[in-house]
Amino acid sequence: MAGADEAGRGSLAGPLVVAGVLLDYEELRGARVRPLAALNDSKQVAPEDRERLFEAVAASAAAISVRIVPSGEIDRSGLHRSNLAGLSAVLADLHPPAEACLVDGFRLGSAAPPHEALVDGDTRSAAIAAASIVAKVVRDRVMRRLDALYPGYGFVSHVGYITPAHTEAVRAFGPSDLHRRSFQAACYEAA
C-alpha cells in the first residue's frame, strides 16, 4: 500500500514538500510494526514524536519518495497544480509499484498512477500518515537550515507559516526569495 501527502500548503514561505511511502503490510508484523502504532496526521503529533515516527517509517518502509517544490515553482505553476504534480510524481517514483495507492484528499487525474483519494486520509490510513510524517519532518528540517541563510525571519521557529513574528519580519525586511509572492498576504502590502 502506498500513501502520499504533503506539508507546507498553507505556508507563506518555503517549499512544498511531498512524500510517498510504500508500506508492505505483509512484512510489518510484531516488533517491526510497533514503532508505527502512533502514526497519525503530522499536525496532530508533537515535534519530538514526529522525529521518532520519521525514523520508524524510514526503518520499516519498503520505499520512500520525497519531492521538494520550491516557492518559485509554486508561484509559476500555482499551489494546487504544484501539489497535484508532486503527489503524482512521488507515487510514480515508488518501486516496486504499489498494489494500491491512497492520496490524502486529492484526485490526481488519469496521468497519475491508479489511486484513490481519501478525505482525512492522514488520520485513516497508515500509509498516508507515514507520508504526512515524512513530508512534515523533511520540510521542517529544510526550513530550520534555511534560517541560517535568511536570518531575521524566524524560520527556525515558525518554519514559514504565518505568525505575528513572521508578519513583523516581512514588514521589516520585505519578503525573501523563499516567500511565495503569488500569495495575497497582508504583510506584503507594507513591504
Phi and psi at 128, nearest 5°, equal -70, -40
155 membership: H or E segment, kind and range: helix 155-158
Per-residue model confidence as pLDDT tens digits over 31-81: 777 778 888 889 999 999 999 999 999 999 999 999 999 999 999 999 999
Percent of the chain with pLDDT over 90: 80
Where does the pLDDT of residue 191 fall: very low under 50, low under 70, confident under 90, or very high at 90 and above?
Answer: low
Quickly count: other Cβ atoms within 10 Å of residue 160's Cβ: 26
pTM for this prediction: 0.94
Would you say residue 172 has pLDDT above 90? yes
The pLDDT of residue 27: 79
Would you say residue 109 has pLDDT above 60? yes
H helical segments located in the chain:
47-60, 71-77, 79-93, 121-124, 126-149, 155-158, 164-173, 186-189
